[in-house]
Structure 1
Amino acid sequence: MLHDLIERAFEPASEAIRRGTIPGAVLGIVTADGRSAACWAGAAQIEPVREELSRETWFDLASLTKVIFTTTRILHLAEEGRLDLDAPLVAAIPDLRQYDMNAAERKLTFRQCLAHQTHLPAVEPLYTYGQDPQTLRAFILQRVWSSGPPVYSDINFMLLGIAIERITGQALIDQPLRPNFTFRPDPRLCAATERCTWRGRVIRGEVHDENAFALGGASGHAGLFGTVDGVLDFARSLLDGSGLSAASLAAIRARQSEKRTVGWEGMYPGWHGGDACSPSTIGHTGFTGTGLWIDFERGLAWSLLTNRVHPSRHTESGILPLRRATGERVVALFDAPAQQG
């Protein structure tokens, strides 16, 4: 039974909560045939006052925004014929690096950005340049970005977010979303994140990522909030094929590099999802302490949502070994003869 499975798989998270390395966590499991279960413990907030966490707690999903929202939205637009994954971004953003028609950024394609196969840097403290969203968007488009080898880059997904806005004519924060996802959560229902020195308060119900906050609360790389049931429902839609076309599903599973697919990370030794999952597994994590892994061979997905940055990111939360231990337990218990019976 999934209920028994998840309680045992949750034991590493329970121990981390007991040790105080994370305030709280929710673990959810879903199968291709729609069976699901969840287990949770700990605090949604420990300061300024303690509040308990529940299955209905909304989490700042951080970089899970990249796969749940941005990648999926781009693929849906491709399915509708409104963009070509192998076309350059300038097809949607003609003013990208508009003062240099030979700029490298003007040659970048949607697929390259989705798979993090560009020269763009990992991150830039854009919020230190101001908080006017439109000016910051213009800065992203006109910046002469330093060139380097391909790395996991927030800038790739900021550009994709701007492309979505241009193609749809609608701000990211107003884009349609699946149930149990939002860019505008009720703070009272959310897990708290960091005591932010820049904003001078404990962050709860507003995006933790400083750049996404300065860009208006939603960006292609961060800003989405969701519940564990929202994440599981999204995962189930990929497992059963209802969420994307066959071509789009093939794209998110096919390697574009050693570790990357279109939008997602493919299984590799030592990754956050653990080594027990099948080679057909894809996954992604979020800086706030979130993660989602989808094992297509087993028809199984799991999501571990924590608020490990509360009240500070500058502590050792042990999130990597926690994620790995959880994933390995989920898979081992799922494969056990009693589960298969």
Structure 2
Amino acid sequence: MTNLAPLFDRAFEPLAAAVAARCIPGGVLGIVDSDGQRITRAIGAAQLVPNARPMREETWFDLASLTKVIFTTPRILALAQDGAIDLDAALISVLPDLRQYDASAWERKVTFRQCLGHQTPFPAVEPIYTYGRDPDLLRAFILQREWRARDPVYSDINFILLGFALERLSGKTIRDMEPGPGFAWSTKPDVAAATEDCTWRHRVLSGEVHDDNCAALQGAGHAGLFGTAASVLDFAQVLLTGASECSTALMRQPLSATRTHGWERPYDGWSGDALCSPGTIGHTGFTGTGLWIDFDRGKAWTLLTNRIHPTRHFDSGIVALRQAVGDLINGVR
């Protein structure tokens, strides 16, 4: 068994330096291997304004887009595994009202697999929350909108629609679904890492979802999950050991040069750094979160930060920080 402690100490240094330089308020780094060896460490502040609170190893984080891979992807793949859906079938097999007034609309041809791999023409971002606060009306708006087709990019719309499919098949809203062991859809403000001083909700967010569209939809498939470093590492360890009820084969199967089903895979300049093995998958979240799982080397790591507190309009250096941590996790220097 490899001793993770020296490797972890090196990998923690860039996080400590980012906090010392006031690039981010605080963070938690955690690593686990397939033998169950685990280390986590916290540094900095969970909140700066209006009151300061220290970061702790057990601090809860708004995981943002890690929701896509921890919650939505496993559930979609499990439904496919059970024969409840066909990944190569169009979404209208579950969402028949998608662009229902135009039988020839391109949106009606989009498949589950294309959404998982971000291979659709949906836009990268869309301020859905600016169209109203009624979640049912916003769902109808998303389903009926004539989206302008573009070259495929990473798009939240893909996973918002996958979330709608989960809702239709279960008869429950996302927030009424069980989020998974160690996870939640919200948490108490005093145990959470604060995110942004929101300009339209007029308060510092802590323990409630930061993502604007997810908040307006009152739960969605692309964001909204909360968890701790321990719960994220628990999830990763289950995948590493093969104990997951959902096969990891599709999570690791390439769909493009940068994507698998739900996850990213190593490519030049990706968040996990160039030294990751080819058997690594990973994903990041806008709030400053990330998870990487290296199946070839039997280890996973998570870097959870509150890099958008108290504002997103600041260069936190999160991209370089993630890569520096990944570089050292993989044994360099």
Q: Kindly provide the CA deviation profile for residues 247-276 of structure 1, in whole angstroms up to 9, marking residues without a partner as x.
A: x41211111111011000011121111111
DSSP 3-state at the match of 2:235: helix
DSSP 3-state at the match of 2:330: helix
Shift of 1:79: 1.9
Shift of 1:2: 2.3
AA aligned opposite 1:131: R
Residue number among 161, 164, 177 corresponding to 2:163 in the alignment: 161
Shift of 1:42: 0.5
User: What's the counterpart of residue 274 of structure 1?
Assistant: 273
Q: Please give the alpha-carbon distance, in whole angstroms, between the structure 2 residues aligned to 1:302 and 1:5.
A: 12
What is the RMSD of the two structures over their aligned residues, measured on CA atoms? 1.2
Q: Is the 8 A contact 1:71 1:114 kept in 2?
A: yes
Shift of 1:96: 0.8
Q: Kindly provide the CA deviation profile for residues 143-199 of structure 1, in whole angstroms up to 9, marking residues without a partner as x.
A: 000001110000000000000000111110111232221112222211000111111
Q: Does 1:176 align with 2:178?
A: yes
Q: Please give the alpha-carbon distance, in whole angstroms, between the structure 2 residues aligned to 1:244 and 1:278.
A: 25
DSSP 3-state at the match of 1:205: coil
AA aligned opposite 2:257: E
TM-score, normalised to structure 1's length? 0.95
Q: Is the 8 A contact 2:46 2:193 kept in 1?
A: yes
Q: Kindly provide the CA deviation profile for residues 66-101 of structure 1, in whole angstroms up to 9, marking residues without a partner as x.
A: 100110111111222211111111111111111111
Q: Is the 8 A contact 1:178 1:230 kept in 2?
A: no
Q: Kindly provide the CA deviation profile for residues 193-236 of structure 1, in whole angstroms up to 9, marking residues without a partner as x.
A: 011111111111111110000001x2111100100011001111
Q: Is the 8 A contact 1:238 1:244 kept in 2?
A: no
Q: Is the 8 A contact 2:282 2:293 kept in 1?
A: yes
* 4+ residue runs over 2 A deviation: 1-5
Identity of aligned residues (%): 59
Unaligned runs of 5+ in 1: 337-341
Q: Please give the alpha-carbon distance, in whole angstroms, between the structure 2 residues aligned to 1:207 and 1:184.
A: 7
Q: Is the 8 A contact 1:241 1:249 kept in 2?
A: yes
DSSP 3-state at the match of 1:151: coil
User: What's the counterpart of residue 339 of structure 1?
Assistant: none
TM-score, normalised to structure 2's length? 0.97
User: What's the counterpart of residue 33 of structure 1?
Assistant: 35
After the TM superposition, which residues 132-147 of structure 1 pair with which residues of structure 2 at under 5 Å, given as runs?
Answer: 132-147=134-149
Q: Is the 8 A contact 2:55 2:193 kept in 1?
A: yes
DSSP 3-state at the match of 1:21: coil
AA aligned opposite 1:285: T
Q: Please give the alpha-carbon distance, in whole angstroms, between the structure 2 residues aligned to 1:122 and 1:243.
A: 31
Matched residues, number = 331
Unaligned runs of 5+ in 2: none
User: What's the counterpart of residue 315 of structure 1?
Assistant: 314
